[in-house]
Structure 1
Amino acid sequence: MNSRIVLLAIALVITVTPGLSHAAEPVAQETLLTLVATALANSPELKSSQAKWRMFIAKARQAGSLDDPMFMFKLQNLVAREPFSFGGSDPQTAKVIGISQQLPFWGKRAIREEIAQYEAESYRWSLEERKLELVRMVKETWYQIYAVDRSIALADKNLQILTDFMAIAESKYSVGQGAQQDIYKAGLEKSKMLDMQITLRQQRRSLEANLNYLLARPDTTPVAKIPDFGLPRFAMTAQQLNDLAFAQRPRVKELSSLANKGSAAHRLAQKEQWPDFNLSFEYMFREAVNNEMTKDPGYNMFTVGVTFNLPVQRERRQAMAAEASSEKNMAQEELNGLRNSIGYAISDTLAQMERLQKLAELYQTGTIPQAEQSLESAVISYKVNKVDFLTLLDSRISLYNYELGYCHALAEYMMKLAQLEAVIGVDPAEQQPLPTPASDKPHH
């Protein structure tokens, strides 16, 4: 029969299509916490950012240090006609050693160190912000894989259901109670499901490669099927989450450090109106002179001196102050913009999470059980010729779409939670955890 040829062709496609069969060897199960820790430990970008932060810490230690003292040695007032006579012929000839030290005006050195520390601190918080982004991407990819895994499982289940439908249709056709087009229709639906299955498996491989990229490990490393989970709850309001974000978000602290750096730079620009000093000490070794022209006992001498610059270039110093003020204002306005974006992101994400949570509960407690009952009733009615085959297929498609919507609602809720964690800087579910209701248990 033609129906048997269709069945044989479908079985052949399943057999020869690469990637449709499960791996022969079991893959070790990894937890999300393990993967996050691996990503944080292996990421080349994080290692680069950490090295940059340490570089600026070293710069901060340098900024507060004095310049090296200068040592001086000279032969003073040598007689030109006797260049190698270093003493004894002229009382003004002397060997001189000296030392000098550059001293910035009081307070400048401390402010320079403060500026460098604020800059190093900003890079530290930039590193922490990058960690948050990496964790968010790992978690989003993880839950995308979960959704694809559940979609593949649903496709497998529906292929078996369609096989059963085809067997029922063939049985009815063999006794003259069904139409041959019902068999063809079932075969076509199986082909569509196979096409969807191929697409899902390709998506799975792509997501797996992306996760391995985020973890900085070989892209062929397999990722095991992700187990079911319940939806975490937290009782914090949007305002509480905003307050938590302003206290914990690394980006907020980074911009605050840059604003403080600008304030310190402005104070340094004001200090530049005062001169820097150079203290020096010189000691002259002289020799006694006793000849027909002069007589000198050759007492040793020393010189103490101080020099300082004259801060008369006011335009340059005014420009320094203006630059520092602009840097502070820029960081402050970026911080204000970040506060606005945090408030919007929290409100929008909470609204979407509430929708997804209610949608998942509706699927689990109402829509899916009703669709299962509808499909069961349709199967019974089709066997006794009370409904046609299209009604049976429609019931099957409705159940499949609802189950698909349920697993996607779970995955999207967790992805939104990961995004919320990146917005506020910590996992809100760990701040004020509540017991998970029974209705949040995954549907099997």
Structure 2
Amino acid sequence: MHSSNAGTQRRALAAALLIPGLLAVAATVQAQGAGTPPAPPAARSFPVAPAAATAADPATPLGADIAGLLQHARGTNPAFAAQRAETAAARERVDSAGALPDPNFQVELMDFTNEMRGGGTTLVPGQVGETRYRFIQPLPGWGKRELQTRTAAAKADEATARLDAEWLDLALTIKQAWLRYYAADREAALARESLALLGGLEEATLARYRQGLAPQQAVLRAQREITSQRLAQVGIEQRRRAAAAALNGLLARAPHEPLAAPAEPSALPAVLPLPALVERARANNPALSADAHAIEAARLERERTWADRYPDYSIGLTNNRPRGEDQSWDLMFEVMIPLQQSARRAREREAAHMVAAADAKREATASRLGGEIGSAWATFTSAQETQRLLRGTLLPQAQATRDATRSAFETGRVDFDAVLEAERQLVDTRMSLLQAEVEARMALFEIEKLVGESL
């Protein structure tokens, strides 16, 4: 959830959690006014959604869980499809990299004016003084073709690793978008529920007002809360539609296409050891793997550049056909003379700098990876500790304060504002617990991307 919407979201959730408790208090006081013994207050809790599927299930509607969205995005996301096609193109270049150059075929017409033999000018083979048919095959120097093949294979492996890294980035974006959709969907459901409960609270307050047990300000306050909740519901529904449209965009679907209501996500892991995460990232992160393949490709390219110090060759076979005479055969052997040493040395220095750059890029990626893992791990650990403290200490204290205030309100020892303040403290605690859980889940998604696997 974005920080700019935190205040609106907090008020919407607070209203959703406050109203049921207030209804219970109102019903208790109304029952007291009618001579009915009060019922003990019931504890409040978050509504529980159905458990989410842990893997992609064909029967699971699209949007209910992350696994189904990821499976759908693999085949529909256009950006990933483009990266996949580029990777396939790089793989196809391996076969052509080490192939021999195409041969040349020449037709040479000697004495096409026929001055030596008498006759007219012609360009028809066999009707000139002599026709030569020549076949020439260029041959790269020894080892160059193998180096070209190995370089293309290393670049193809790099492209494959880049594809994996692209998928992890896309998967993280989808997970984060789904989590925002999940939060907005739950808020929308709570807003609808709280609006219905507010109507019941208004009726109960009106009934107490008619009996002289509540002031007119209580009725006006209930009606004001209904109006505020309706305004909050508009914003919540807008955020839910925006989150659904963002998810549809990642899946190459129309923005208005429906998505299933999100199910409850899987439980968070209790502990994530940082040293093990760093080791797994160094072993599995595709960005590091891509940089390693880039280093290998740069080194092979440097070797190929050094091999250019040695000449290339060509072999030619010529068929001579003089008009009216017997044909003959010639064999030709050609050697390329590497004379442009200054240009060649410049290319060798360029290749050496490219190797140094590839090494430095991998070191930079490793350093950045370690920093990002440490930051995400710290966020996850802090959020988990916050949840533990809230759930184990502050939440029970807030619940006990709320229950005590309710009991005091029923006996007339505190006013309605004290009950409302106790309920708000409990709501703030539950909201903080929810925010800590969302923060931990976002950090977990980031760690999964960095280590290259699900945790």
TM-score tier (shorter): 0.7 to 0.9
Question: 1:442 corresponds to which residue?
Answer: none
Residues 163-182 of structure 1 deviation map (CA, whole Å, 9 limit, x = unaligned): 56555654554444543223
d(CA) in 1 for partners of 2:335 and 2:275? 56
Question: 1:347 corresponds to which residue?
Answer: 374
- The AA in structure 2 aligned to 1:221 is E
- The AA in structure 1 aligned to 2:273 is T
d(CA) in 1 for partners of 2:334 and 2:355? 34
Question: 1:426 corresponds to which residue?
Answer: 453
d(CA) in 2 for partners of 1:153 and 1:363? 24
Contact kept, 8 Å, 1:147 with 1:408, in 2: the verdict is no
Question: 2:298 corresponds to which residue?
Answer: 262
d(CA) in 2 for partners of 1:344 and 1:164? 53
Q: When the two structures are aligned, how many residues end up with a matched partner?
A: 388
d(CA) in 2 for partners of 1:165 and 1:121? 65
Question: 1:310 corresponds to which residue?
Answer: 337
Which of 320, 335, 345 is residue 362 of structure 2 equivalent to? 335
Residues 82-135 of structure 1 deviation map (CA, whole Å, 9 limit, x = unaligned): 35599xxxxxx6543332211111111111222222222222222111111111
Shift of the alpha carbon at 1:237?
2.4
1:222 paired to 2:258: yes
Which of 411, 420, 430 is residue 384 of structure 1 equivalent to? 411
Question: 1:183 corresponds to which residue?
Answer: 219
Contact kept, 8 Å, 1:96 with 1:283, in 2: the verdict is yes
Contact kept, 8 Å, 2:65 with 2:263, in 1: the verdict is no
Tell me: CA distance 1:177–1:234, structure 2 relative to 1, closer, same or farther (3 Å). Answer: closer
Shift of the alpha carbon at 1:357?
1.8
d(CA) in 1 for partners of 2:397 and 2:258? 37
Tell me: CA distance 1:426–1:213, structure 2 relative to 1, closer, same or farther (3 Å). Answer: same
Question: 1:432 corresponds to which residue?
Answer: none
1:200 paired to 2:200: no
Deviates more, 1:246-255 or 1:142-151: 142-151
Question: 2:115 corresponds to which residue?
Answer: 80
Question: 1:55 corresponds to which residue?
Answer: 89
Contact kept, 8 Å, 1:97 with 1:282, in 2: the verdict is yes
Contact kept, 8 Å, 1:168 with 1:383, in 2: the verdict is no
Shift of the alpha carbon at 1:213?
0.9
Tell me: CA distance 1:230–1:122, structure 2 relative to 1, closer, same or farther (3 Å). Answer: closer
- The AA in structure 2 aligned to 1:82 is R
Matches within 5 A, 1:4-153: 30-76=64-110, 79-82=114-117, 94-153=130-189
Matches within 5 A, 1:376-415: 376-415=403-442
Question: 2:280 corresponds to which residue?
Answer: 244
Residues 227-261 of structure 1 deviation map (CA, whole Å, 9 limit, x = unaligned): 23452326552222112112211111112222212
Contact kept, 8 Å, 1:144 with 1:411, in 2: the verdict is no
Partner secondary structure for residue 260 of structure 1:
helix
Shift of the alpha carbon at 1:353?
1.0
Partner secondary structure for residue 108 of structure 2:
strand
Question: 1:23 corresponds to which residue?
Answer: none
Tell me: CA distance 1:84–1:403, structure 2 relative to 1, closer, same or farther (3 Å). Answer: farther
- The AA in structure 2 aligned to 1:351 is A
Contact kept, 8 Å, 1:42 with 1:216, in 2: the verdict is yes
Tell me: CA distance 1:149–1:155, structure 2 relative to 1, closer, same or farther (3 Å). Answer: same
Question: 2:346 corresponds to which residue?
Answer: 319
- The AA in structure 1 aligned to 2:376 is T
Residues 312-351 of structure 1 deviation map (CA, whole Å, 9 limit, x = unaligned): 1111111211222222222222211111111111111111
Shift of the alpha carbon at 1:359?
2.5
Deviates more, 1:278-287 or 1:50-59: 278-287
Tell me: CA distance 1:99–1:302, structure 2 relative to 1, closer, same or farther (3 Å). Answer: same
- The AA in structure 2 aligned to 1:411 is V
d(CA) in 2 for partners of 1:56 and 1:231? 40
Shift of the alpha carbon at 1:210?
0.6
Deviates more, 1:305-314 or 1:201-210: 305-314
d(CA) in 1 for partners of 2:201 and 2:370? 52
Which ranges of structure 1 fall in alignment gaps of 5 or more residues?
1-26, 87-92, 289-297, 430-444
Deviates more, 1:358-367 or 1:195-204: 358-367
Over 6 Å off, 4+ runs? none
Deviates more, 1:157-166 or 1:182-191: 157-166
TM-score scaled by structure 2?
Answer: 0.77
- The AA in structure 2 aligned to 1:45 is A
- The AA in structure 2 aligned to 1:128 is D
Identity of aligned residues (%): 22
Residues 277-328 of structure 1 deviation map (CA, whole Å, 9 limit, x = unaligned): 111222434588xxxxxxxxx6654322212121111111112112222222
Contact kept, 8 Å, 2:188 with 2:237, in 1: the verdict is yes
Shift of the alpha carbon at 1:28?
7.3
d(CA) in 2 for partners of 1:362 and 1:221? 41
Partner secondary structure for residue 312 of structure 1:
coil
Partner secondary structure for residue 97 of structure 1:
strand
- The AA in structure 1 aligned to 2:350 is E
Partner secondary structure for residue 226 of structure 1:
coil
- The AA in structure 2 aligned to 1:303 is D
d(CA) in 2 for partners of 1:206 and 1:135? 19
Shift of the alpha carbon at 1:267?
0.9
